[in-house]
Chain A
Amino acid sequence: MTSLNERIKPIVMPKWGLSMSEGKVTGWLKQPGATVNLGDELLEVETDKITNVVEAGETGVLRRVLGEPGTIYPVKALIAVLAEPDVPDADIDAFVAGYAVPEADGGEDGAEAGPRYEFAETAAGTIRYARRGEGGPTVVLVHGFGGDLDNWLFTIDALAEGATVYALDLPGHGQSTKTPADPSLPGLSKAVLAFMDAVGVGAAHVVGHSMGGAVAMRTALDAPERVASLSLICSAGLGREINQGYIDGFINATARRDLKPVLETLFADAGLVSRQMIDDLLKYKRLDGVDGALRAIASSMFEGGAQTAILGGAVGAANVPTLVVWGEQDRVIPAAHATAPGSTARVEVIPNAGHMVQMEAAGRVNALLKDHIGRKG
């Protein structure tokens, strides 16, 4: 790279998760010539899994917009160029002309690739996980009921810029063991600790979504020396109420037309539920053992339409540094639960987002997580 190029900042098609190889530009939210600040929303990209906004990771003037709306581009393809106003047009044109899309696999170094799935043999059985980033504080991401580590599609790489991040599939979920040794909340918490043992993580900042939040709290209470901080996103374990219709609907759906309306309750924008998301979940639900595991976990955690574990008070009293994030339009667990851990916790309720707030408002949630982990790490 010449020194000239360092002042020219490419904006490329992002890679969200291991399976993404291309994305469609659906529309630009900034026009050519606009001044762009860090975190500004630049454009929308649609993949076969989900549609999301691409935010600016650099500042500058949007000098070239190359990604045509409605067109599909490979991951890492150049779709726009940022540069200060004094960079000559000819240099930018030369940069665009000379840009080559890096090889999707093989040629590039590990840091540039998407999350790689790995498997750990733990005391709680086989656990699938992804590990991203090097150095800095260690972060463990714990998904919710029926989810998997890909629920952190938009989270893991953002956090990995300044941390070593692990995302795992809980027992009974994703590609981890389908026979949880203990489907109760303490059992799932023990599985997280067993995973941390297996990959050599002493203490970590634990981020939990939904049921994963309750797992994170249980872990902080049972093994306080292993949990540096808690980040609870639309978390279970903070109040009695839970949308039992969602839990039952998710367990019982065997066809696309039954599962689709259930998944739509997860998002403020129901249009985010893609065909691929439904198909992937149906494929997961058909695996031997999954139905039994989900029923066992649900009957332990959400018996008779109410949550069985209420841990907010205990976590507040234990003085664990805690961040609580909620989507205001959460239709699975009410956002009113956000204040349960008490005045020591930082609470952020994000408008226009539902239960999957870490996907629907990824930029905002990532910034909150980075700040929380950075401050305590």
Chain B
Amino acid sequence: MSRKISMKTAINEALDLEMRRDPTVILMGEDIVGGTGAPGEDDAWGGVLGVTKGLYAKHGNRLMDTPLSESAYIGAAIGAATCGLRPVAELMFMDFMGVCFDQIFNQAAKFRYMFGGKAETPVVIRGMVGAGFRAAAQHSQMLTPLFTHIPGLKVVCPSNAYDAKGLLIQSIRDNDPVIFCEHKNLYGHETEVPAESYAIPFGEANVLRDGGDVTIVSYGLTVHRAMDAAEALAKEKVEAEVIDLRTLSPIDWDTIVDSVERTGRLVVVDEAHPRCNLATDISAFVAQNAFGALKAGVQMVTPPHTPVPFSPSLEDLYIPGADAIAAAARRTLAGAPRSTIAA
């Protein structure tokens, strides 16, 4: 049975189904239960935005509210993963990764390699990413490129409820550390989602729209902006192919290159800061491997190289919008080789 649910509900459902299926799945994080030790309902909060609400009532002490101590509990989750559990640790905001990054990039990501393939670390680290939530510069970043940079980490960033459920189930079943990035402005976004369990394989991009004139690649929230841009372009008789990467590591190079070989034009949209991000990564890969197919310079659409502004009007301008994406597509169609990336 399929019904329309929000991405927040889909994530909750994925956690619930995997906890039911596999007794080694546990959840850890700050306030994921909420209210423990205080009078009142045990699962009053279910996380800062209510994503894990109701799971404590179903799974009890397999949910662990942790102290405000990212370096301790992320390390504990990683250690538990090497010893047979499948912890899903919630970092609340991915912006807090800094205080526990050694555990993630120098420990979890390296164990399989350093122990000669004998150690596995099936841990998932969930957290919110992205701007547009009026949460200011320290709670609004799209740090996906930092995680994608590290070999040994898998990086997921869904754009909708269906993908979020299937990718989170796959993340929990995967035997490597997965950084699961949830765009907070998509939590309320609803799509048709089956009630059953299903897993979406990593490294399979989703082609949301077919088109022969220009390829637009994105992930997360900006996928929706790219689709709006494609609608606008269609009115000008320009057919854009829109690719949602879904997973950033591994990444589906084949789908990107296949599309560019047909369209000859590429626009990459990334909500992350413009230097060394997915847009630069994909542009460089296509330039090196499919240069002959390109009919015009690749266009990158990103925010400016600044912290996310707190001023609502500036924050709205900061995130790449449909107009900017459509304009970039028109530039590639005009054959302009000039880059317009903000410096």
Map CB proximity to B onto A267-298 as digits: 1 under 8 Å, 0 otherwise: 00000000100000001001110000000000
Closest A-chain residue to B207, C-beta based?
Answer: A256
- Known interface pairs A175-B1, A255-B204; A288-B199 also in contact (CB < 8 Å): yes
Q: A283 touches which one: B1, B197, B198, B204 (CB < 8 A)? A: B198
Residues B210 and A275 in contact, CB atoms below 8 Å apart: yes
* CB-defined contacts of B200 to chain A, threshold 8 Å: 286
Residues B204 and A286 in contact, CB atoms below 8 Å apart: no
B41 within 8 Å of A by Cβ? no
A254 within 8 Å of B by Cβ? yes
B152 within 8 Å of A by Cβ? no
7 further A-B pairs in the complex, CB-CB below 8 A; given A254-B201, A255-B204: A257-B254, A283-B162, A286-B198, A286-B199, A286-B200, A287-B194, A288-B196
A interface residues, how many (CB within 8 angstroms) = 11
Instruction: Tell which of B198, B199, B201 has the most Cβ of chain A within 10 Å.
Output: B198
CA distance A302 to B258 in the complex (A): 34
Nearest Cβ in chain A — how far from B144, in angstroms?
A: 22
B255 within 8 Å of A by Cβ? yes
* CB-defined contacts of A287 to chain B, threshold 8 Å: 194, 196-198
Map CB proximity to B onto A158-196 as digits: 1 under 8 Å, 0 otherwise: 000000000000000001001000000000000000000
Q: A257 touches which one: B197, B198, B255 (CB < 8 A)? A: B255
* CB-defined contacts of A288 to chain B, threshold 8 Å: 196-199
B166 within 8 Å of A by Cβ? yes
CA distance A256 to B246 in the complex (A): 14
Residues B197 and A254 in contact, CB atoms below 8 Å apart: no
Map CB proximity to A onto B81-94 as digits: 1 under 8 Å, 0 otherwise: 00000000000000
Residues A283 and B258 in contact, CB atoms below 8 Å apart: no
CA distance A256 to B198 in the complex (A): 16
Q: Which of B179-212 contact A (CB under 8 A)?
A: 194, 196-201, 204, 206-207, 210
CA distance A178 to B200 in the complex (A): 17
CA distance A178 to B204 in the complex (A): 24
CA distance A286 to B201 in the complex (A): 9
27 contacts between A and B (CB under 8 A): A175-B1, A178-B196, A254-B201, A254-B204, A255-B201, A255-B204, A256-B206, A256-B207, A257-B254, A257-B255, A257-B258, A275-B207, A275-B210, A283-B162, A283-B194, A283-B198, A286-B166, A286-B198, A286-B199, A286-B200, A287-B196, A287-B197, A287-B198, A288-B196, A288-B197, A288-B198, A288-B199
* CB-defined contacts of A286 to chain B, threshold 8 Å: 166, 198-200
Closest B-chain residue to A119, C-beta based?
Answer: B1
Nearest Cβ in chain B — how far from A262, in angstroms?
A: 16
Closest A-chain residue to B252, C-beta based?
Answer: A255
CA distance A257 to B210 in the complex (A): 12
Closest A-chain residue to B203, C-beta based?
Answer: A255
Nearest Cβ in chain B — how far from A130, in angstroms?
A: 14
* CB-defined contacts of B166 to chain A, threshold 8 Å: 286
* CB-defined contacts of B207 to chain A, threshold 8 Å: 256, 275
* CB-defined contacts of B196 to chain A, threshold 8 Å: 178, 287-288
Closest A-chain residue to B192, C-beta based?
Answer: A283
CA distance A256 to B210 in the complex (A): 12
* CB-defined contacts of A257 to chain B, threshold 8 Å: 254-255, 258
Q: Which of B195-236 contact A (CB under 8 A)?
A: 196-201, 204, 206-207, 210
Instruction: Tell which of A254, A275, A288 has the most Cβ of chain B within 10 Å.
Output: A288
CA distance A368 to B207 in the complex (A): 39
* CB-defined contacts of A283 to chain B, threshold 8 Å: 162, 194, 198
Q: Which of A119-176 contact B (CB under 8 A)?
A: 175
Nearest Cβ in chain A — how far from B256, in angstroms?
A: 12
Closest B-chain residue to A285, C-beta based?
Answer: B198
* CB-defined contacts of B210 to chain A, threshold 8 Å: 275
Closest A-chain residue to B204, C-beta based?
Answer: A255
Instruction: Tell which of B194, B201, B254, B255 has the most Cβ of chain A within 10 Å.
Output: B194
CA distance A283 to B197 in the complex (A): 11
Q: Which of B148-164 contact A (CB under 8 A)?
A: 162
CA distance A275 to B199 in the complex (A): 20
CA distance A254 to B200 in the complex (A): 9
Map CB proximity to A onto B239-266 as digits: 1 under 8 Å, 0 otherwise: 0000000000000001100100000000
- 8 smallest CB-CB distances across A and B, nearest first, come from A286-B198, A288-B197, A287-B198, A255-B204, A287-B196, A254-B201, A286-B199, A286-B200
Nearest Cβ in chain B — how far from A175, in angstroms?
A: 6
Instruction: Tell which of B1, B196, B258 has the most Cβ of chain A within 10 Å.
Output: B196
Closest A-chain residue to B206, C-beta based?
Answer: A256
Map CB proximity to B onto A217-230 as digits: 1 under 8 Å, 0 otherwise: 00000000000000
CA distance A283 to B166 in the complex (A): 10
Closest B-chain residue to A178, C-beta based?
Answer: B196
Instruction: Tell which of B201, B204, B210 has the most Cβ of chain A within 10 Å.
Output: B204
Nearest Cβ in chain B — how far from A259, in angstroms?
A: 11
* CB-defined contacts of A255 to chain B, threshold 8 Å: 201, 204
Closest A-chain residue to B1, C-beta based?
Answer: A175
* CB-defined contacts of B258 to chain A, threshold 8 Å: 257
Nearest Cβ in chain A — how far from B249, in angstroms?
A: 17
* CB-defined contacts of A178 to chain B, threshold 8 Å: 196
* CB-defined contacts of B197 to chain A, threshold 8 Å: 287-288
CA distance A55 to B338 in the complex (A): 54
CA distance A178 to B201 in the complex (A): 19
Map CB proximity to A onto B284-314 as digits: 1 under 8 Å, 0 otherwise: 0000000000000000000000000000000
CA distance A198 to B310 in the complex (A): 61
CA distance A282 to B310 in the complex (A): 41
* CB-defined contacts of A256 to chain B, threshold 8 Å: 206-207
CA distance A257 to B243 in the complex (A): 13
Closest A-chain residue to B208, C-beta based?
Answer: A275
Closest A-chain residue to B196, C-beta based?
Answer: A287
Nearest Cβ in chain A — how far from B342, in angstroms?
A: 34
CA distance A270 to B200 in the complex (A): 26
CA distance A137 to B183 in the complex (A): 54
Nearest Cβ in chain A — how far from B92, in angstroms?
A: 29
CA distance A175 to B204 in the complex (A): 24
* CB-defined contacts of B201 to chain A, threshold 8 Å: 254-255
* CB-defined contacts of B199 to chain A, threshold 8 Å: 286, 288
Closest B-chain residue to A286, C-beta based?
Answer: B198
Nearest Cβ in chain A — how far from B231, in angstroms?
A: 14
Closest B-chain residue to A258, C-beta based?
Answer: B204
